[in-house]
Amino acid sequence: MIWLSDAVLVVHALLAFFIVCGLLAIWVGAGLGWKWIRRRHFRLAHLLAILIVSTLSLLGIACPLTTLEDWLRTGLLETNGFTQGFIQRWVSRLLYYDLPGWVFTLLYVAFGLVVLLTWRLIPPRNAQHSKATRR
């Protein structure tokens, strides 16, 4: 079961990476003329991800991935005397900080607002618009 809790942690880290680096890619890509950063599916997935994180935080609901990982690891601790593995130790250091919950809520909502502003300033394009501009 250790592999399953580590897998949840890695998925969680990849999601955080997608949210943070996705915004950076949109801004850099807009400046460099990257077409893929305007793809509607990418942009909707990015917007939806941060909106879910922000909404859960505003409602005081723990992230389901954190809850699942904690549940898996608690079972391991109780049954096997589990200690942190390599992946869990390093990825946890990147994801989890000992700060009050309101700080994270503020950061998530602010980041979400920046993503919404980015949607307005660097709007996605639909597939038909992209095909028309290639001709």
Say what the pTM is: 0.77
- Convert the pLDDT of each residue in 95-135 to its tens digit: 666 778 888 889 999 999 999 999 999 999 976 554 555 54
Residue 39's φ and ψ, nearest 5 degrees, are: -65, 130
DSSP string, 53-118: HHHHHHTTPPPHHHHHHHHHHHHHHHHH-----HHHHHHHHHH-----HHHHHHHHHHHHHHHHHH
Average pLDDT on 52-66 reads: 93
pLDDT higher at 34 or 83 = 34
Residue 24's φ and ψ, nearest 5 degrees, are: -60, -45
Question: Which residues, other chains included, contact 126 with Cβ-Cβ below 8 Å and sequence gap of 6+?
Answer: 40
Interaxial angle between packed helices 64-80 and 2-32, expressed in degrees from 0 to 180 and rounded to the nearest 10 = 150
The answer, yes or no, to whether residue 56 has pLDDT greater than 70, is yes
Please give the mean pLDDT across all residues of the chain: 84
Question: Does an H or E element contain 25, and which?
Answer: helix 2-32
